[in-house]
Amino acid sequence: MASIQILWHLSIQFFMLVAKINGAKIPAIIVFGDSSVDAGNNNYIPTIARSNFEPYGRDFNGGHPTGRFSNGRIATDFISEAFGLKRAIPAYLDPAYSISDFSTGVTFASAGTGYDNATSNVLSVIPLWKELEYYKDYQRKLRAYLGDRKANDVISQALYMISVGTNDFLENYYTVPGRSSQYTIKEYEKFLVGIAGNFTKELYDLGARKISLGGLPPMGCMPLERTGNLMGGSECVDSYNNLAVEFNSKLNDLVIKQNKEFHGMEMVFSDPYGIVLEIIRKPAVYGFEVTGVACCATGMFEMGYACSRSNPFTCSEADKYVFWDSFHPSEKTNGIVAKYLVKTALAKFL
């Protein structure tokens, strides 16, 4: 654990030095998406998709549940630090923060949401179009705070990160009747990619230029999916992993296409699939001991309220586990994935 933390600290120092040499091109990180990047927006809406209670956050600033679906920080927090910005990106709906905090980083993400509006309806969370409305409101506040000229500089130079899509498949298409009767899986992928393209175009029209479109992880390896794979010996669900690879390829094609279409757009595809799968397949290389179940509770199916402080099965050392709950990575995994993305897809923005 200590060695991993030391390596991360050294990496952060290196990335910050690079940022200084290059003139710190990124003044803010602005985030959209689902629970992978939600820092607590769902705390302020009527939904059961929450994590603002222990043991969530037990390793965040000495033990503070914020609404992040992890024992500590999430990937975008580590990425923000690597770019020389704040250590943790605040949630837009959190009244403890103001535009002075949000001017260098903010997340509009909502756990449980997806590209598809029908996905956000499953758990009554914030749909992606509403996240964009919050961003428009943010722009107005930013201009009032910084003045038009400085605000426009932030808007055009900020890094926009999008991480969403897993819920569209696992919480919607394969779980709730509706979309699966309307679309074949390939048609549904095309439908979602269309929404993604419209979303990034809207961001571009609002002034965004540096965009990171995130891909899906190997979702068949989430403990929740492995628990249900009894016939497969509780191994990763290959069909879900293959779907993630296929969908990621289509998102990457979208990135290539829009970079050609929109003048000045610098969009990258941030793909977590390979690094997460490598961690799962070679855990010891990264200092992990457990991959098949999560730290919280039995680690087989619990997340959210089922992952409660009173559960006696919750592990004592989350850093030994790839997953914190049955759907979400541990802080340590988030840090490794963030470091990988900063060194690869996001390196051009340093």
Residue 148: active-site member: no
Q: Give the largest CA-CA distance in the chain.
A: 60
Catalytic residue among 163, 325, 326, 330: 325
Residue 234: active-site member: no
Query: How far is the CA of 150 from the CAs of 211, 322, 349, in angstroms?
Result: 20, 41, 19
Catalytic residue among 80, 120, 163, 328: 328
Strand order in the sheet with 266-270: 105-107, 29-33, 159-163, 210-214, 266-270
Residue 328: active-site member: yes
DSSP 50-71: ---STTTTTTSTTT---S-SSS
Contacts (Cβ under 8 Å, ≥6 apart) of 15? 82, 83, 84, 342, 350
Q: Scanning the structure block, which residue is given the tokens 């470091």?
A: 339
Catalytic residue among 11, 34, 35, 116: 35
Q: Scanning the structure block, which residue is given the tokens 């923005």?
A: 349
Of 159, 183, 263, 272, the closest CA to residue 221 belongs to 272
Rounded to 10 deg, the angle between the 75-82 and 331-343 helix axes is 50
Neighbours of 306 (CB within 10 A): 13
Instruction: Judge whether 241 and 220 are in contact, CB under 8 Å.
Output: yes
Residue 15 sits at φ, ψ, to 5 deg, of -65, -35
Known catalytic residues? 35, 325, 328
